[in-house]
Amino acid sequence: MPSTVLDVSATPLDVLRTVFGYEEFRGDQAAIIDAVVGGEDALVLMPTGGGKSLCYQIPALVRSGTGVVISPLIALMQDQVDALSALGVRAGFLNSTQGFEQRRETERALLAGELDLLYLAPERLRVPETLALLQQAEVALFAIDEAHCVSQWGHDFRPDYLMLHVLGEQWPDVPRIALTATATRATATEITERLGLHDARSFVASFDRPNITYRVDPKDNPRNQLLRLIRAEHAGDAGIVYCLSRASVEQTAEFLVDNGIEALPYHAGLDNRTRAANQSRFLREDGLVMVATIAFGMGIDKPDVRFVAHLDLPKSVEGYYQETGRAGRDGLPSTAWLAYGLADVVQQRRLIDSSEGDAAHRRRLSAHLDAMLALCETVDCRRVQMLRYFGEESTPCGNCDTCLAPPDAWDGTVAAQKLLSAVVRLDQRGQRYGAGHVIDILVGKTTARVTQLGHESLTVFGVGEELDERAWRGVVRQLLAQGLLGVDASGYQTLHLVEASRAVLAGERQVMLRREPERKAGRSRTKTSGSAAAAAADLSPEDLTLFERLREWRAAVAKEQGVPAYVVFHDATLRAMATERPTSLDDLAGVSGVGAAKLERYGDGVLELLAPE
């Protein structure tokens, strides 16, 4: 095991350059690190991919003693430790997955002062011996990763996080740094309260992820839409596909595999072994697609996830932002794609109506859903709207679907009145129907059902011929989304008026609707034959050959060492090697992402690959 390549007087910038191989700090990193090195507590809100890890890893290396990292991500600890070891950092972990011997060895190393970083599952703190062990060790700092897990309202709540205030009580002089990618102010306040971080310096980064293109498409056979997206834009790329139900996870994974795309399922119904194995393959192999429920993804630090697709509507903007945020941690172009349709609105409204809990709870769920629907139906920049939801003002981004192909807004008041009138007419007869039948009546379609029920005689029969069925479904969906129409929680999903409908019928309220722009199946992007389209984009043919060669070499090295490929080098680093073509170890050390340990270990091998034949 190599030991840290540092002398005692190393500054944070020295560590950044020597150990991590990066030239400069990003954003608030330097200020955060200075605060913690100086012994202050810190609260860090930074988006996924923003560079939170360095904010505690570097202070742990600069301060004397061991940095203790509390993390709920037990399944990822081994990978985190491997990634640090590859950099020459001495790291270990304590959690329930390890055997007695391995634990004893880690404890010994800790007490002997041989660890720079120790990862600890929060439940270990319930064991009195763990606290006693830490008391005997020299602790450089406590880092509380995924700090939003302390929030009882979030879906990542971990009861063990509530114990973490003991750290401040038992170690008043050891700096604590709490980090999360959750953007809401309410969560930040809760973290401060529950962890007793009232005196902490607070660092709030912009939550924009400029390299992610946000797109929402009308749902129309979502699996085929997904397949087209992957084939046209993300062939060979790693991606995550989120579905609401376990059954749909299984079916979608199978569908992709049948169509020649390597895909794996992940949901809470699979046994632990299968889940761990699938996660491990996703992290280790290039270009796999993970089809999952939202049980998957927290803390996954695979940097080259190129797309995140949602086949069902997320329940909140927070959830959507977290899930899509797993794309493009490496800063290269990535896609967040959501398929959304009438059935999603109906389903989510029904889930809320039939949910347990009191009225206040249902109101909260409804408010979350409304914000998500507004994001789907907006005719303005999606990024502006999403960031505003998190309290951040911005200008149109030029990198979301509404910026790239602006949809028209049209005055849908008359259409809305026609639809609502049809619902009223039926209701007057004591009848309620779902969207399909109401639309048949509006477009004047004489289906068997229409004839049988005598609905041809309704005054509204055929009054909506100016729009086709698809357009009418859009009208129904948007009225539901805007809360101008109601849907029953019973099994039949029948439509009914709500209080706000009256103003529309009375002509007192204008209804603006979104017209879906014609969109092509996929934007063409020059694709390379192999994988990693984004990382390989714009490379000259010669550079591309080198890049592919480096990737093959990396795959072999990673396999031999049993670590994910990105632990060896990131795509962005391989790309820089291919374009800069260093010819000496000194040159190679200047490539971003090449630190001292990796230079020593892989330098000669890389130079050999890059040397002209």
Q: According to the binding rule CB under 6 A, does residue 243 interact with ligand ADP?
A: no
**Which of Zn ion, ligand ADP, none has residue 332 at its interface (CB below 5 to 8 Å by kind)?**
none
Give the one residue of 4, 12, 52, 142 binding ligand ADP; rule: CB under 6 A: 52
Task: Work out how close the CB of 329 gets to ligand ADP at its nearest, in angstroms, rounded to a whole number.
Answer: 5
Cβ atoms of residues 4 and 89 within 8 Å: yes
Q: According to the binding rule CB under 6 A, does residue 69 interact with ligand ADP?
A: no
Task: Work out how close the CB of 300 gets to ligand ADP at its nearest, in angstroms, rounded to a whole number.
Answer: 10
**Which of ligand ADP, Zn ion, none has residue 66 at its interface (CB below 5 to 8 Å by kind)?**
none
What is the Cβ-side half-sphere exposure of residue 24, based on CA atoms within 13 angstroms?
A: 3
**Which of Zn ion, ligand ADP, none has residue 381 at its interface (CB below 5 to 8 Å by kind)?**
Zn ion
Which range, of 44-52, 70-78, 475-483, 517-525, touches ligand ADP by CB under 6 A? Answer: 44-52
Angle between helices 100-111 and 128-136 (to 10 degrees): 30
Residue 430 has a CB neighbour count (10 Å cut-off) of 6
Between 213 and 478, name the residue whose CB sits nearer to Zn ion: 213
Cβ atoms of residues 264 and 332 within 8 Å: no
Give the one residue of 13, 14, 53, 399 binding ligand ADP; rule: CB under 6 A: 53
Cβ atoms of residues 177 and 142 within 8 Å: yes
Cα distance between residue 316 and residue 368, in whole Å:
5
Residue 92, helix vs strand vs coil: strand
Task: Work out how close the CB of 461 gets to ligand ADP at its nearest, in angstroms, rounded to a whole number.
Answer: 57
Between 372 and 397, name the residue whose CB sits nearer to Zn ion: 397
**Which of ligand ADP, Zn ion, none has residue 383 at its interface (CB below 5 to 8 Å by kind)?**
Zn ion
Q: Residue for token digits 């109601």?
A: 486
**Which of Zn ion, ligand ADP, none has residue 54 at its interface (CB below 5 to 8 Å by kind)?**
ligand ADP
Nearest to 596 by CA among 7, 122, 18: 18
Task: Work out how close the CB of 217 gets to ligand ADP at its nearest, in angstroms, rounded to a whole number.
Answer: 27
Task: Work out how close the CB of 387 gets to Zn ion at its nearest, in angstroms, rounded to a whole number.
Answer: 10
Task: Work out how close the CB of 331 gets to ligand ADP at its nearest, in angstroms, rounded to a whole number.
Answer: 7
Give the one residue of 49, 67, 72, 239 binding ligand ADP; rule: CB under 6 A: 49
Binding mask 315-334 for ligand ADP (x = CB under 6 A): --------------xx----
Between 334 and 348, name the residue whose CB sits nearer to Zn ion: 334
Cα distance between residue 371 and residue 527, in whole Å:
36
Cα distance between residue 110 and residue 95, in whole Å:
14
Residue 269, helix vs strand vs coil: coil
Structure tokens at 356: 């347990």
Structure tokens at 91: 């790291």
Number of amino acids touching ligand ADP (CB under 6 A) = 17
Between 206 and 366, name the residue whose CB sits nearer to Zn ion: 206
Give the one residue of 54, 94, 504, 591 binding ligand ADP; rule: CB under 6 A: 54
Give the one residue of 15, 17, 37, 48 binding ligand ADP; rule: CB under 6 A: 48
Give the one residue of 10, 15, 17, 22 binding ligand ADP; rule: CB under 6 A: 22
Which range, of 43-51, 258-266, 510-518, 598-606, touches ligand ADP by CB under 6 A? Answer: 43-51
Task: Work out how close the CB of 51 gets to ligand ADP at its nearest, in angstroms, rounded to a whole number.
Answer: 3
Between 26 and 509, name the residue whose CB sits nearer to ligand ADP: 26
Between 45 and 167, name the residue whose CB sits nearer to ligand ADP: 45
Q: Residue for token digits 């809760």?
A: 190
Task: Work out how close the CB of 301 gets to ligand ADP at its nearest, in angstroms, rounded to a whole number.
Answer: 5
Binding mask 549-588 for ligand ADP (x = CB under 6 A): ---------------------x------------------
Angle between helices 571-580 and 596-610 (to 10 degrees): 50
Q: How far is CA 49 from CA 208, 292, 305, 571, in A?
A: 11, 21, 11, 15
DSSP strand pairing (408-411 vs 512-515): antiparallel
Q: How far is CA 268 from CA 74, 155, 281, 299, in A?
A: 16, 14, 17, 17
Q: Residue for token digits 């190129």?
A: 306
Cα distance between residue 226 and residue 339, in whole Å:
9
Cβ atoms of residues 56 and 141 within 8 Å: yes
Residue 191, helix vs strand vs coil: helix
| 106-143 b/e (C-beta count within 10 Å ≥ 16 → b) | bbebbeeeebbbbbbbbbbbeeeebbebbeebebbbbb
**Alpha carbon 407 to chain centroid, angstroms:** 26
Between 39 and 517, name the residue whose CB sits nearer to Zn ion: 517
Q: According to the binding rule CB under 6 A, does residue 51 interact with ligand ADP?
A: yes
Can you give the binding site for Zn ion, defined by CB under 5 A? 381, 383, 397, 400, 403
Q: What are phi and psi of 512, to 5 degrees?
A: -95, 130
Residues of this chain that interact with ligand ADP (CB under 6 A) are 22, 25-26, 29, 46, 48-54, 301, 303, 329-330, 570
